[in-house]
């Protein structure tokens, strides 16, 4: 997934020019333009929704990077995460509305995130173990179809448990609470979401680049056989990848619940679609790219809404996807695909 | 190629004359097989539904009407089978082409536009329109690896209804287009209700035709190229197969079949609304193809038919049954509602346990027995032992 | 060539088959509903002349069940009452309900098949339904050709009946033979009514109009907007938000800039009215939230109701119109009868917004049947079907229903186009929060 | 069949008579990100010659192969085949998609200027249809790639290296190091796929299953069986490829590579994993291919006996670098080669 990180070492300058700087400049420029078009308040909205997409997109990109599978079920893992978080907040923690006392809030949030991410990670690993691993050497189509099946199953299980209609989740961070930053009043929740997302991403980035497991992931992504020869436990590595990706999706689910205070079993489909677009946009297999892509999608969507073309927002997102695939299939940060198949 | 296989199954293929005769024979046989098979179906279905328990559900006319709608899905499945089954490309936005076909006819023959084009040529036009959009979508994306296609088609399948919804000026948006003219032969206008036979027979004719054509494609060098791509795209390219054009052809031909089905749907319902073409149609058809046995034409057709019947009749009857007998839990479960759960479980189970589908194609079983299958295949019983 | 021969052969077989096929066979679903009604009508000595059926076509499963089931029970109640009273002209009446919800959402294709079923079943003399206007568009061509009386309790899209909105496209076969009538007022009344209410009663001047891009939502919103601009109100913004929208923040922030003093949401709760309201309040947009009957769906404890999703305090300041009579004369009795009749049912045992109208529809069909049988008691089923249709669509006839005395104009629209207005009272229903009736206006009187 | 064979235009028999250059690679380079898989490799294959590439694992042999076969683009250098440049570094490929949308864009602009979109419904829908049609047409041309189209984009400096199928069309067949047969297709079908470019029937023929189509298939099937016989696989036409024993799979792949009557064969370790007997047979077979069919061969091989046995010339790679090139004896004596092998441990 971070192939360019590896290859960056020898000719650093070249890589620096070729891959590193351009996209970021583009990103900054894009953000600037968007900011000028839609103004600060909408910009905050975009960043918030973008953070959620980014978190989900990372899961896609990691899984694709390591086993080249579009994990269609990932969007639904995110959805299940939202429901899991709701369960944790309501049933064991007995929350209903905003929590005002900061320490208590912190504790509750920590428990909520920890439990949800853990459960979702496990779920993701289980899915990989039972639905994908048996098909690792099957034709490409097989796991894709299984993934779709798994996504159906997750959706319907949730629907059976919680019914088809939308469910309220406790917004323990008071959605009305606002702080004034530089003359602009921003919702506390928005700030919280953005910060959480960025923290998680940085954490992940460090994990992947510093730890042993992270290195194992990168080498597996590069060349599974070679990694195996080097003594990397492929199954364990892939399982770990799924765990992390799904955990992040779970975190995104928590955030979703906190932000909108209302969740539904159909949540996963749309979110998953946009998140995958984000992953492709950023260069599939590249974590930073996925993050950037997520925010980009957020910008596109909110800009459309702000300009009064809300109904076209979806279409705009996919237009972006197709254009990317035509003109830069490798995405913002991805490296050129080796095989031209 | 399966023609050759069938023919050379007996001989070791040293005598070209014999082989040639055999292949001609089996080739002619292939089309006849389909026609005979469909003819049997055409006559058998109406008779079967006169027997209990079917007769107790509803009258023959209603059954035939249901079969006609089921036929639309069979067509869709046959088309998607070209893309997914034969060429191994995952198309998740198939309903979009269905929609394009339907709206093509809606524009061609409805008070909304004021046009009054005849139905039969529009079948072709609808197919062409769908194919055109298939090319428009496929051309940029088919150069990339397969799974990108999956996501792009998924997006496309989302965009088309959105586009139809929001360009009210041309499509009357969510209202859809009503008052579409039903087909007519001479002065005989196909009746909307009462007598389902005209639509029923038309649908059977369409299916028969598409099956024959698809078989011919499958047996051609194009069909071989498709399968080669499905098996190993790189190796296929390294053997002179232009993967892009070949994949694009598969995509376009699949789309055109959907367009055909769309035109028929429009003329049957006499109303089209964007709501008819949401993504669950795409996924239902995909499930049909996978469960029917990817790449196996008869299998897919039968699979599609059975699945549609299950979802539109069996599950309903199940509900009613449990409502009547008041089984504690079961009577509360609404089976219709969990249709997609069943699909999901089926898809996963199918891929893990029986990837060749419910009605495995002869190819997949050939290693087990060659001779009798060759003979058996020629008989081509509609239960999906594909006449190869 | 071969194909044509095949066709010929099949056609021949067809004749053979249809010759020996016995017309219609009772379906277990009919038995089912019969069982439902038999409980009540056992005592009655109805049915010496056999049974006739009233079809009910509604979305009855999944998310749509909340709309369909209470409506269905409204019709069942009417029929059971009739059977208890000794049936109609010696006939016992059965309710034959068919569900056209697929995956919990109405499905036109299925609806069309159901209408085919009714049309083919000669014992069906009338149909109650459908619920969604989009479904009506698929069904009316069929029922029109079959000459089958169809009475919708809830369809409000004007194009279904009014030629000037293209209704003739849907009754092509017999443009002058009215077979589709409805007791609900059309959107070209409901929308403008709310516009007037917003303008004069709530004193709004600059509204934000959002629709859910569905047949119903967009239609009613368009009608609202037209009237609104006539009245001299200004439209802060007109936005479409597809039913699967969850994030309205973009829209709201954008709208805030144009400081609207009210919102009109053309759509239903399942397409996001609740989420929109919730997010509006969160962004501190505390302005009246108004909408059509789609948003008036039950008290704060009802699963998936506007009040429950948005929260009762956020829901305060919401106003909804209902395209039916709010407190019709017999409302109290009706509610009592309804709850009494279905007290044993696990769920949906209280009347919904369209139970009354459904009851009225059934009553109208039964009344027409009764009147026709008086004139020609021995008519065969085909004649009964036609006779019932004819009597019901005759503009000179009127019907005493729970909603009051209904009659229909030349298009089959009710001559009692009542619009009633509701608002959310957080304190109502002992603190759960519920919609409370404000007032109602008869736009037929204008 | 014969005339199709000749249309392959290969120098029948008298290949050795005129040792003209068949394929020439100049300064072929390929890097992946930072690491260089092969650098400045020069190679010349005389027609009718057998040239081998040897080198320790990871020396970039297969990369070189894939570049020549058009599977991956080179980062530099060119490959000329029969005097015309086949492979070269792609330039400005991003420009091509621009040409796809350009015509449609122009039409759109023109319509806009003509005020189509302020006009009535008719004109608008017509305008839209026109745009879509143009776009579709452009894309189709781009995919079919007629000569004039290629020349056109050449003029704008868009240079796209040959795709694998172009390479095959030019008359180069190949096998893979790890066998890549179409597992679920029969042996015969595998060879028939290899014959793809020789069959002339088109979509129309398929649909009406025309006489031409049938004749085509007939001839193809006959030829396919001949090829199977040639590599010694008589009578397994209808075995699924995946059910064949390893050695047979290698031969089948060879037969498939021959199906298009190539002038040059790229064989990637044809004897890998074979026992001595099979190896000997395969070596003999390769020799026969040259003598009987006059096919030139470019060979990657680890088995030195094979290499020294049949090669005219040998190219030695190590870490992507070309360290030696010459006749077997020269190479055998070359100091760097010995180091390379001893250094990394001969395989």
Contact across the interface for B232 and D189, Cβ inside 8 Å: no
Looking at residues B308-330, what average pLDDT do you find? 73
Q: Could you state, in order of their start, the residue ranges of all structural domains in chain C?
A: 25-185+332-415, 187-322+419-442
Per-residue tokens: A163:
């019914």
Would you tell me how many other CB atoms lie within 10 Å of the CB of residue D40?
14
Q: Please check whether residue D253 lies inside any domain of the structure.
A: yes
Whether omega before C130 lies within 30 degrees of 0, making that bond cis, reads yes
Copy the structure tokens of residue C133: 């206007």
> Cβ of D135 and B136 within 8 Å?
yes
Nearest chain C residue (CA) to A48: C249
- Return d(Cα B19, Cα A275) in angstroms, integer: 55
User: Hey, are the CB atoms on D73 and A14 less than 8 Å from each other?
Assistant: no
CATH code at position B276 = 1.10.3470
Contacts of D4 in chain B (CB under 8 A): none
Cross-chain residue pair B150–A151, CB shorter than 8 Å: no
Cα nearest neighbour of A133 on chain B:
B352
Q: Does A15 touch chain D (CB under 8 A)?
A: yes
The closest of C208, C438, C432, C210 to C313, measured between CA atoms, is C432
Per-residue pLDDT, C43 = 38
Q: A10 touching D, CB under 8 A?
A: yes
For residue D32, list chain A residues with Cβ-Cβ distance below 8 A: 7, 338
Mutate to test the interface with B, among D185, D266, D267 (most CBs of B within 10 A): D185
Cβ within 8 Å of C, A 197-226: none
CA distances from C179 to C123, C126, C147, C182, C367 (A): 17, 9, 6, 10, 15
Question: How far is C-alpha C295 from the geometric centre of its chain's CA atoms?
Answer: 14
A160 to chain C: closest CA residue = C62
**What's residue A85's pLDDT?**
95
Test D33 with A15 for CB contact under 8 angstroms.
Answer: yes
Residue D271 phi/psi, 5° resolution?
Answer: -105, 10
Count other C-beta atoms under 10 Å from residue C377's C-beta: 10
Does residue B316 surpass a pLDDT of 90?
A: no
The answer to whether D163 contacts chain A (CB < 8 Å) is: yes
Q: Which of A167-181, A251-265, A318-332, D47-61 has the highest mean pLDDT?
A: A251-265
Q: Which domain holds residue D121?
A: 95-155
User: CB contacts < 8 Å between B and D, how many?
Assistant: 170
At residue A247 the predicted structure's pLDDT band, cuts being 50, 70 and 90, is: very high
Which residue in C5, C37, C113 has the most chain B C-beta atoms within 10 A of its own C-beta, making it the best mutation to test that interface? C113
The Cα-based distances of D312 to C369, D51, D168, D306, D315 in angstroms read 101, 6, 24, 12, 10
Check pLDDT > 70 for residue A313: yes
Check: CB of residue B355 under 8 Å from CB of residue A142. yes
Tell me the C-alpha distance between D74 and D54, whole Å: 20
CATH architecture of C187-322+419-442: 3-Layer(aba) Sandwich (3.40)
| DSSP per-residue codes, A13-57 | HHHIIIIIIHHHHHHHHHHHHHHHHHHHHHHHHHHHHHHHHHHHH
Q: What is the pLDDT of residue D119?
A: 67
Asked if B276 lies within 8 A of C17 by C-beta distance, the reply is: no
CA of C133: how far to CAs of B169, C154, C245, C264, in Å? 20, 8, 21, 20
Q: Is residue B379 part of a domain?
A: no
Mean pLDDT of chain B: 80
CA distance C245 to chain B (A): 13
How is the beta sheet containing C318-322 ordered, strand by strand?
C234-240, C206-211, C262-266, C289-291, C318-322, C418-425, C434-442
Question: Measuring CA to CA, how many Å separate A282 from each of A57, A194, D158?
Answer: 9, 19, 26
Task: Verify whether the Cβ–Cβ distance B151 to A276 is below 8 Å.
Answer: yes
Residue D192: the pLDDT is: 92
- Residue D88's pLDDT band, with cuts at 50, 70 and 90, is confident
Contacts of A328 in chain D (CB under 8 A): 94
Q: Which of A68, A153, A318 sits opposite B344 (nearest CB)?
A: A153
Nearest Cα neighbor of D283 from D261, D263, D308, D264 is: D308
Whether the pLDDT of residue D8 is over 60: the answer is no
Interface of B with D in 365-384 (CB under 8 A): 366-367, 370
- Residue A29: is it exposed, middle or buried by C-beta count within 10 angstroms (0-12/13-18/19+)? exposed
Q: Count structural domains, chain B.
A: 1
- A308/C304 CB distance under 8 A: no
Which CATH fold topology does C25-185+332-415 show?
Answer: Rossmann fold (3.40.50)
Residue C294 near residue C267, CB atoms below 8 Å:
yes
Could C61 and B334 be called an inter-chain contact, meaning their C-beta atoms sit closer than 8 Å? yes
Domain assignment present for residue D176? The answer is: no
Average pLDDT over residues A133-143: 83
CA distance C163 to B3: 58
Task: Select the residue from A8, A326, A331, A333 to test the D interface by mutation, using most D Cβ atoms within 10 A.
Answer: A326
Based on the fold, state whether residues D84 and D9 are members of the same structural domain. yes
Q: Per-residue pLDDT for A63 more than 60?
A: yes
Compute the distance between CA of residue B337 and CA of residue B334 in angstroms, rounded to an integer: 6
Helices (H), strands (E): how many in chain D? 14, 10
Helix (H, G, I), strand (E, B) or coil at D82: coil
Q: What is the number of other CB atoms lying within 10 angstroms of the CB of residue B360?
A: 19
To which H or E segment does residue C98 belong?
Answer: strand C92-99
pTM of the model: 0.84
Q: Is D157 exposed, middle or buried (0-12, 13-18, 19+ CB in 10 A)?
A: exposed
Shortest CA distance from B343: residue in chain A: A149
**Looking at the 3D structure of chain D, how many domains does it have?**
3
Q: Which residues of B touch D267 (CB under 8 A)?
A: none
Q: Mean pLDDT over residues A136-143, rounded?
A: 80
Give D225 or B370, the one with higher predicted confidence. Answer: D225
Please answer yes or no on whether B224 and D140 come within 8 Å at the CB atom: no
Query: Smallest CA–CA separation between B268 and chain C, in Å?
Result: 10
Torsional class of C30: left (φ above 0), alpha (ψ -120 to 50), beta (otherwise): alpha
Q: Does B18 touch chain D (CB under 8 A)?
A: no
> Pick the residue with more confidence: C3 or B254?
B254
Same domain, D61 and D167: yes
Question: Phi first, then psi: what are they for C35, rounded to 5°?
Answer: -55, -45
Do D63 and D6 belong together in one domain? yes
Q: Which of D231, D260, D289 is the last residue of a domain?
A: D260
C430: left (phi over 0), alpha (psi -120 to 50) or beta: left
The residue of C246, C252, C268 whose CB has the most chain A CBs within 10 angstroms, and thus the best one to mutate to test that interface, is: C246
pLDDT tens digits, residue range D203-250? 888 888 778 888 888 889 999 999 999 888 888 888 888 888 888 898
pLDDT at D128: 81
Residue-wise pLDDT for B182-230, tens only, equals 898 888 888 877 788 999 999 999 999 999 999 989 888 999 999 999 8
User: Percentage of residues in chain A with pLDDT exceeding 70?
Assistant: 91
Q: Is the pLDDT of residue B83 over 90?
A: yes
Q: B270-311 pLDDT, tens per residue?
A: 889 888 898 889 988 998 998 888 888 888 999 899 888 888
Min Cα separation B377/chain C (Å): 21
D-facing residues of B in 222-261 (CB < 8 A) are 222-225, 227-228, 231-232, 234-245, 248-249
Chain D residues within 8 A of A326 when measuring between CB atoms: 97, 100
- The residue in chain B having the minimum alpha-carbon distance to the alpha carbon of residue C103 is B337
Chain B neighbors of D257, CB-CB under 8 A? 239
Helical axes D187-194 vs D246-258, angle rounded to 10°: 30
How far apart CA A37 and CA B82 sit, in angstroms, is 46
Same domain, D5 and D70: yes
C25-185+332-415 shares its CATH topology with C187-322+419-442 = yes
For residue B388, give Cα distances in angstroms to B8, B384, D172, D240. Answer: 12, 11, 33, 15
Task: Give the domain CATH number at D299.
Answer: 3.40.50.300
* Measured torsion, CA atoms of residues C177, C182, C188, C192, in degrees rounded to the nearest 10: 160
Local confidence pLDDT in tens for the 446 residues of chain C: 444 444 444 444 443 333 333 333 333 333 334 334 433 333 344 567 788 899 999 988 776 777 788 889 999 999 999 998 888 888 889 898 888 887 667 888 888 888 988 888 888 999 998 988 888 888 998 999 888 999 998 888 888 888 888 888 888 888 888 899 988 888 888 889 999 999 988 889 999 999 988 888 888 899 999 999 999 999 988 888 888 788 888 888 888 888 899 999 998 887 888 889 988 988 888 899 999 888 887 777 777 788 888 888 888 889 998 877 766 767 788 888 888 888 887 777 788 778 888 999 999 999 999 999 888 888 888 899 999 999 888 888 888 888 888 888 888 888 878 888 888 888 887 888 888 888 888 876 54
What's the rounded mean pLDDT across residues A226-246?
89
Residue of B nearest to C138 (CA): B271
Question: Chains with 3 or more CB pairs closer than 8 angstroms to B?
Answer: A, C, D
Please give the pLDDT value at position D34.
67
Chain C hits for B46, Cβ within 8 Å? 13-14, 17
Same domain, D228 and D256: yes
CA distance C374 to chain B (A): 28
| Complex confidence, ipTM | 0.83
Whether the CB of D183 is below 8 Å from some CB of chain B: the reply is yes
In this complex, do C137 and B176 lie within 8 Å of one another by their Cβ atoms?
yes
Distances (CA, A) of C317 to A21, A96, C262, C285, C426: 52, 23, 10, 11, 9
Is A7–D73 a contact, with Cβ atoms under 8 angstroms apart?
A: no
- A176 neighbourhood in chain C, CB within 8 Å: 282, 284
Q: Which of D30, D33, D165 is the mutation pick for testing A, counting most A CBs within 10 A?
A: D33
D191 and D240 fall within a common domain: yes
């Amino acid at each position: 997934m971070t192939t360019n990180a590896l290859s960056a070492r020898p000719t650093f300058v070249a890589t620096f020019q070729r891959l590193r700087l351009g996209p970021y400049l583009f990103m900054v420029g894009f953000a600037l333009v968007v900011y000028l078009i839609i103004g600060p308040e909408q910009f905050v909205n975009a960043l918030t929704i973008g953070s959620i997409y980014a978190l989900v997109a990372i899961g896609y990109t990691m899984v694709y990077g390591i086993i080249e599978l579009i994990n269609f079920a990932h969007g639904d893992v995110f959805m299940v995460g939202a429901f899991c978080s709701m369960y944790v907040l309501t049933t064991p923690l007995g929350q209903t509305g905003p929590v005002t006392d900061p320490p208590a809030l912190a504790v509750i949030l920590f428990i909520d995130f920890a439990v949800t991410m853990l459960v979702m990670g496990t779920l993701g690993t289980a899915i990989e173990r039972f639905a994908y691993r048996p098909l690792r050497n099957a034709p490409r189509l097989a796991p894709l179809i299984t993934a779709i099946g798994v996504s159906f199953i997750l959706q319907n299980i949730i629907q059976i448990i919680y019914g088809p209609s939308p469910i309220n989740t406790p917004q323990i961070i008071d959605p009305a609470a606002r702080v004034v930053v530089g003359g602009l009043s921003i919702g506390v929740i928005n700030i919280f979401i953005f910060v959480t997302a960025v923290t998680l991403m940085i954490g992940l980035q460090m994990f992947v680049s510093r730890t042993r497991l992270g290195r194992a992931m990168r080498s597996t992504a590069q060349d599974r056989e070679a990694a195996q020869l080097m003594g990397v436990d492929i199954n364990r590595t892939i399982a770990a990848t799924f765990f992390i990706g799904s955990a992040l999706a779970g975190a995104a689910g928590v955030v979703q619940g906190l932000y909108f205070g209302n969740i539904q079993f159909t949540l996963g489909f749309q979110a998953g679609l946009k998140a995958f677009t984000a992953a492709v946009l950023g260069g599939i297999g590249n974590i930073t790219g996925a993050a950037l892509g997520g925010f980009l999608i957020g910008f596109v969507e909110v800009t459309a809404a702000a300009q009064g073309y809300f109904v076209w927002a979806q279409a705009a997102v996919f237009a972006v996807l197709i254009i990317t695939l035509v003109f830069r299939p490798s995405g913002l940060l991805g490296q050129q695909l080796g095989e031209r198949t | 190629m399966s023609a050759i296989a069938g023919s050379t199954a007996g001989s070791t293929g040293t005598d070209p004359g014999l082989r040639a005769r055999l292949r001609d024979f089996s080739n002619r046989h292939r089309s006849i097989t389909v026609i005979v098979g469909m003819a049997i179906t055409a006559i058998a279905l109406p008779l079967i539904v006169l027997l209990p328990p079917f007769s107790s559900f509803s009258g023959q006319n209603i059954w035939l009407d249901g079969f006609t709608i089921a036929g639309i899905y069979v067509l869709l499945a046959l088309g998607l089978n070209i893309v997914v089954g034969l060429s191994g490309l995952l198309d998740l936005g198939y309903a979009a082409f269905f929609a394009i076909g339907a709206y093509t006819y809606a524009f061609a023959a409805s008070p909304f536009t004021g046009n009054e084009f005849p139905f039969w040529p529009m079948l072709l036009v609808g197919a062409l329109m769908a194919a055109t959009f298939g090319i428009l979508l496929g051309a940029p994306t088919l150069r990339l690896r397969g799974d990108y296609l999956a996501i792009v088609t998924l997006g496309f399948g989302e965009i088309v209804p959105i586009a139809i919804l929001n360009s009210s000026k041309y499509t009357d948006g969510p209202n859809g287009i009503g008052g579409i003219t039903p087909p007519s032969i001479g002065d005989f206008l196909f009746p909307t209700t009462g007598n389902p036979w005209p639509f029923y027979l038309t649908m059977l004719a369409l299916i028969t035709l598409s099956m024959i054509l698809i078989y011919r494609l499958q047996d051609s060098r194009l069909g071989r190229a498709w399968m080669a791509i499905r098996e190993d795209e790189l190796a296929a390219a390294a053997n002179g197969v232009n993967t892009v054009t070949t994949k694009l052809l598969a995509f376009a031909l699949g789309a055109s079949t959907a367009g055909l089905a769309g035109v028929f749907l429009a003329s049957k319902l006499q109303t089209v609304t964007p709501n008819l073409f949401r993504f669950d149609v795409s996924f239902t058809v995909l499930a049909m193809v996978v469960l029917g046995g990817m790449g196996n034409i008869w299998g897919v057709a039968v699979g599609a038919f059975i699945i549609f019947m299950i979802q539109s009749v069996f599950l309903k009857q199940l509900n009613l049954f449990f409502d009547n007998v008041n089984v504690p839990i079961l009577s509360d479960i609404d089976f219709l509602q969990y249709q997609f759960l069943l699909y999901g479980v089926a898809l996963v189970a199918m891929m893990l346990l029986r990837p060749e589908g419910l009605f495995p194609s002869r190819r997949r079983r050939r290693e087990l027995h060659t001779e009798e299958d060759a003979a058996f295949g020629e008989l081509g019983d509609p239960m999906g032992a594909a006449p190869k | 060539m071969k194909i044509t021969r095949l066709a010929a052969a099949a056609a021949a077989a067809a004749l053979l088959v249809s010759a020996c096929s016995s017309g219609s066979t009772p379906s277990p679903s009919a038995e089912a509903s019969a069982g439902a009604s038999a409980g009540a009508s056992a005592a009655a000595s109805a049915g010496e002349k056999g049974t006739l059926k009233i079809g009910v076509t509604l979305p009855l499963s999944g998310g749509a069940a909340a709309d369909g089931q209470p409506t269905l029970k409204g019709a069942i109640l009417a029929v059971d009452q009739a059977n208890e009273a000794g049936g109609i002209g010696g006939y016992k009446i059965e309710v034959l309900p068919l569900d056209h919800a697929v995956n919990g959402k109405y499905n036109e294709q299925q609806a069309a098949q159901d209408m085919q079923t009714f049309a083919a079943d000669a014992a069906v003399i009338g149909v109650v339904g459908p619920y969604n206007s989009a479904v009506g568009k698929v069904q009316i061509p069929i029922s029109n050709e079959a000459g089958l009386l169809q009475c919708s309790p809830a369809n409000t899209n004007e194009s279904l009946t009014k030629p000037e909105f293209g209704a003739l496209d849907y009754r092509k076969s017999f443009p002058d033979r009215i077979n589709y009538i409805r007791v609900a007022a059309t959107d070209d009344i409901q929308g403008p009514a709310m516009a007037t209410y917003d303008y004069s009663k709530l004193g709004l001047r600059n509204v934000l109009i959002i629709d859910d891009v569905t047949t119903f939502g967009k239609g009613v919103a368009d009608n609202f907007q037209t009237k609104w601009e006539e009245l001299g109100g200004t439209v802060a913004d007109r936005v479409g938000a597809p039913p699967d929208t969850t994030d309205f923040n973009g829209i709201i922030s954008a709208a805030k800039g144009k400081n609207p003093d009210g919102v009109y949401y053309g759509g239903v709760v399942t397409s996001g009215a609740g989420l929109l309201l919730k997010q509006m309040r969160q962004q501190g947009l505390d302005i009246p939230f108004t909408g059509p009957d789609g948003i008036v769906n039950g008290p704060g404890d009802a699963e998936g109701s506007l009040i429950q999703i948005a929260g009762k305090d956020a829901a305060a300041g919401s106003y909804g119109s209902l395209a039916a009579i709010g407190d019709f004369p017999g409302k109290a009795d009706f509610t009592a009868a309804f709850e009494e009749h279905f007290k044993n049912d696990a769920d949906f045992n209280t009347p919904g917004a369209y139970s009354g109208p459904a009851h009225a529809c059934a009553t109208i069909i039964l009344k027409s049947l009764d009147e026709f049988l008086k004139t020609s008691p021995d008519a065969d089923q085909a004649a009964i079907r036609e006779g019932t249709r004819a009597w019901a669509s005759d503009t000179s006839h009127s019907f005493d229903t729970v909603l009051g005395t209904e009659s229909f104009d030349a298009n089959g629209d009710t001559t009692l186009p009542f619009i009633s207005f509701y608002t959310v009272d957080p304190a109502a229903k002992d603190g759960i929060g519920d919609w409370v009736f404000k007032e109602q206006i008869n736009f037929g009187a204008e | 069949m014969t005339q199709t064979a000749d249309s392959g235009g290969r120098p029948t028999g008298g290949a050795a008579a005129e040792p003209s250059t068949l394929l020439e690679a100049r300064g072929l380079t390929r890097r992946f990100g930072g690491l260089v898989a092969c650098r400045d490799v020069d190679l010349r294959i005389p027609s009718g010659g057998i040239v081998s590439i040897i080198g320790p694992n990871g020396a970039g042999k297969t990369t070189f192969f894939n570049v020549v076969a058009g599977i991956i683009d080179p980062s530099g250098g060119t490959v000329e085949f029969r005097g015309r440049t086949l492979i070269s570094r792609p330039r400005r490929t991003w420009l091509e998609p621009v040409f796809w949308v350009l015509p449609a864009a122009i039409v759109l602009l023109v319509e806009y200027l003509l005020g189509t979109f302020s006009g009535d419904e008719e004109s608008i829908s017509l305008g839209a249809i026109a745009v879509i049609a143009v776009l579709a047409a452009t894309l189709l041309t781009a995919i079919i790639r007629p000569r004039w189209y290629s020349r056109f984009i050449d003029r704008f400096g868009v240079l796209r290296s040959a795709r694998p199928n172009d390479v095959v069309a030019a008359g180069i067949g190949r096998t893979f190091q790890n066998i890549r047969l179409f597992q679920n297709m029969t042996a015969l079908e595998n060879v028939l796929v290899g014959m793809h470019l020789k069959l002339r029937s088109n979509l129309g023929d398929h649909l009406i299953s025309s006489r031409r189509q049938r004749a085509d298939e007939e001839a193809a099937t006959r030829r396919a069986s001949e090829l199977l016989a040639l590599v010694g696989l008589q009578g397994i036409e209808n075995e699924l490829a995946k059910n064949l024993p390893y050695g047979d799979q290698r031969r089948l792949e060879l037969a498939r590579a021959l199906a298009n009557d190539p002038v040059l064969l790229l064989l990637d370790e044809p004897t890998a994993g074979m026992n001595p007997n099979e190896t000997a047979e395969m070596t003999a077979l390769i020799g026969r291919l040259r003598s009987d069919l006059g096919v030139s061969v470019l060979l990657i091989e680890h088995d030195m006996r094979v290499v020294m046995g049949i090669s005219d010339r040998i190219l030695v790679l190590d870490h992507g670098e070309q360290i030696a090139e010459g006749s077997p004896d020269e190479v055998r004596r070359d100091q760097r080669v010995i180091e390379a092998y001893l250094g990394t441990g001969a395989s």
